[in-house]
Each structure stands twice: as C-alpha cells, then as structure tokens.
Structure 1
Amino acid sequence: NVALGKAKIVIDSITENSPLPVRAVKLLARYTVGENAEGIVQEIMAMTEDMTGGQDATVQLMAATILSREGNVVDAMKCCHTGLSLELNAMMVNLLCMIDRPELAEKQAKMMQAVDDDSTVVQLACAWANVASGGKKIQDASYIYQELGDKYMWTPKLHNGLAVCFMLMGAYDDAERELLEAIGKDAKNAETLANLATCAAHLGKSSSRFINAIKALGVPSEAL
C-alpha cells in the first residue's frame, strides 16, 4: 500500500499494539507523507537496536529504506549487512548503485541469483546492477523489465525501469511511450514525472509542467 501511494491507509490501520515489524512499516508510511523526518529516523533506529528488531528483516528493510532516502547510505548499508532476506540483499544492490559501485552491485546480485534465480526480487536487483554497469548490460536490463511486465503486470515502477534503459540507449521516443503508460497508471508518481522531465528535455520539449507537478505533490522527493 505504501508503494501504491496509499500510505494513509497504512497509517490509520496500524496501532501501537501492532507487532514491531508492522509498526516499522507504519514509520515508512509516515515518512512518505512528509511527517517529521528527524523524529521518524530516531524511532526506526531505536527499533533496529531493539533485540527483536535487530534480527527482523522487515524492521531492517524499513530502516534501510528511510535512511537511504535521507541520504544516510552508510547506516542504511549497516541494516542490509544482516542479509536476513532477499529484499535486504536487493536493497544493498540499490545502495551500491547509489554510491557508484556497479562492480559490487553486480557481485551482490550474482550471489542472490545463486540463492533463487527465479525470484522477482532477484531479477529486479540484476536489472539495477546491469543499468549501473552500463554498456551492453543496459540491454539485458531492458529485457528483464520487459519480461517481468509481460509475465506479471505492468506497474509504474516497471515502466520507469524500462524507460530509463531506453533513455540510456538514446531511444527517447520509446522512453516517452513507457513513461506515458506509467503516468496513466499513477498521475502523482514523482519518479515518473522526473523521468518525463528528463525525457522532454532530450526531445526538445518543455519540462516545466512535470517539475511543477513534482513540487505540487508537497512531499519529500529525491526526484527534484
């Protein structure tokens, strides 16, 4: 629900009596809607230091997600080092891409493939690593996004992933097509709007309306 932009539903449905991992998800939801970031970071860090939270994959993943959005990659990586789940390993791949270490991201993705090559999470991690590595591997990443979209269901995230591949390969018309599909599914997706702004600039079109749309969302966004 948080990823689908329904954070308020999550916030309203989770109480202080809910299990620790569920309360950690609520913190991410609160962060997503723009609540006090500093206070939320303190709360999630306290959860990770708790005996139970320190060994819970969901708590560690929520912490890594919040910390990465705050730009605290080092502490986010510490949460991922537990390797308690494929999702945490995938987050590590994402973080390694963020700090421009594609060779390490690729190594991490290959380790995940050895565990479960058919997992959707593993496939996505491989796509991220391929995009970060660049060159011919961008084409490989595009195949992964295409396969996942055709096999399951096309989501804004998958359209954006494929659009980024197209942009990196210089196919901006194809990228724009994917992004228009994405915006049709979620008109308030900041990632889609940011990519549309980038794509528009390369196609010689105005990007101001997309940038203004991101600002109008009124929530913290690395898209800007």
Structure 2
Amino acid sequence: MPDEVVVLSVFRHALNVQIFIKMHRSDYAERQLRVMQQIDEDHTLTQLANAWLNLAVDAKDPETLANLVVCSLHLGKSSSRYLSQLKLTHPEHILVKRASSAEDSFERAVQSVA
C-alpha cells in the first residue's frame, strides 16, 4: 500500500476508535485498534488510540488515576478531580497516603505559625 493510503487508513480507524469510545462501545473500539495495529503498530496514532482505549476502559484503575494526577500537575492543570477519585476509590494508595501526610504537615505548620 502507498504511504498516503496507510496514513489515511490509520486516521480513519483512529477516528472510529474515538467515536466508539464516546458511544461507550469499547468492544468496537478495540476491534478498530486491532486493525490499526495490523496496519502499523508503531504509528503514533495507533499508540495514541491504544492510550485512549486504556483510559476509557481503566478509568477507575488506581495507577491510571495516579498517573493522571501527576500528568495534570506537570501540565499545570488542576488534578483535584483525579485525586478525589483516587481518594474515594483507593484510599490505601501510596499517592493518597503521601498527599494526606503532606496536608497534615501543612496544617501543623499553619497552626504553629498562627
């Protein structure tokens, strides 16, 4: 296949992955991803579509939430939504424990100054 056809095909399948994720049909999105992987597994859009699907399917996974917290902080965006979800669903996660410890230390420091 010519390169242009491959790229257009990967773009089309990536769009389908997004559409199926929005429709909450991860089974169809996974099929499209498999087709993309057969066309070009190393293509950037194939890797991105894989990430989209994993986020859609494993949105409540503790490591996914922890990674979203860290990525949001690095991007300068609010991470409170993801941290709240992590606190509610996985209160024993190391990131939750460390955040709580830091909050407690901050409160003690504020009390000692006040």
Please, what TM-score do these two structures have when normalized by structure 1?
0.31
Q: Which residue of 71, 81, 93 maps to 1:178?
A: 71
Corresponding position of 2:82: 199
Question: In 1, distance between residues paired with 2:67 and 2:55?
Answer: 17
Question: In structure 1, the residue corresponding to 2:35 is in which secondary structure?
Answer: helix
Give the alignment's Cα RMSD to 1 decimal.
2.8
Q: Does the 8 Å CA contact 1:96/1:102 hold for their aligned counterparts?
A: yes
1:173 is displaced (CA, Å) by 4.8
In 1: Cα distance, 2:67 partner to 2:54 partner: 19
1:169 partnered with 2:61: yes
Q: What is the TM-score when the length of structure 2 is the normalising length?
A: 0.56
**3-state SS of paired residue (1:87):** helix
Aligned counterpart, 1:212: none
Matching residue of 2:48: 124
CA distance in 2, matches of 1:182, 1:119: 24
Q: Which of these residues, 6, 11, 20, is aligned with residue 96 of structure 1?
A: 20
Q: Is the 8 A contact 1:86 1:121 kept in 2?
A: yes
Tell me, yes or no, if the aligned pair for 1:102 and 1:129 is still in contact at 8 Å.
yes
User: Alignment identity in percent?
Assistant: 26
Deviations 1:2-27 (A, max 9, x none): xxxxxxxxxxxxxxxxxxxxxxxxxx
Q: 1:84 to 1:120 in 2, by over 3 A?
A: closer
1:112–1:122 contact (8 Å) kept in structure 2: yes
- The count of corresponding residues between Structure 1 and Structure 2 is 81
The whole-number CA distance in structure 2 between the counterparts of 1:176 and 1:198 is: 8
Structure with greater contact order relative to length (CA < 8 Å, sep ≥ 6): 2
SS at match of 1:85: helix
Q: Indicate conservation of the 8 Å contact 2:66/2:83, yes or no.
A: no
- Detail structure 1 runs of 4+ shifted over 6 Å in the superposition: none
- Unpaired segments of 5 or more residues in structure 2? 1-6, 89-114
Give the Cα separation in 1 of the matches to 2:57 and 2:66. Answer: 23
Residues 122 and 178 of structure 1, relative CA distance in 2, 3 Å threshold: same
SS at match of 1:89: helix
Aligned pairs for 1:1-224 within 5 A: 84-134=8-58, 168-171=60-63, 172-183=65-76, 192-193=77-78, 196-202=79-85, 203=87
Name the SS for the 2:41 alignment partner.
Answer: coil
Q: Which runs of 5+ in 1 are unaligned?
A: 1-82, 135-164, 184-191, 205-224
Residue type at the aligned position of 1:179: S
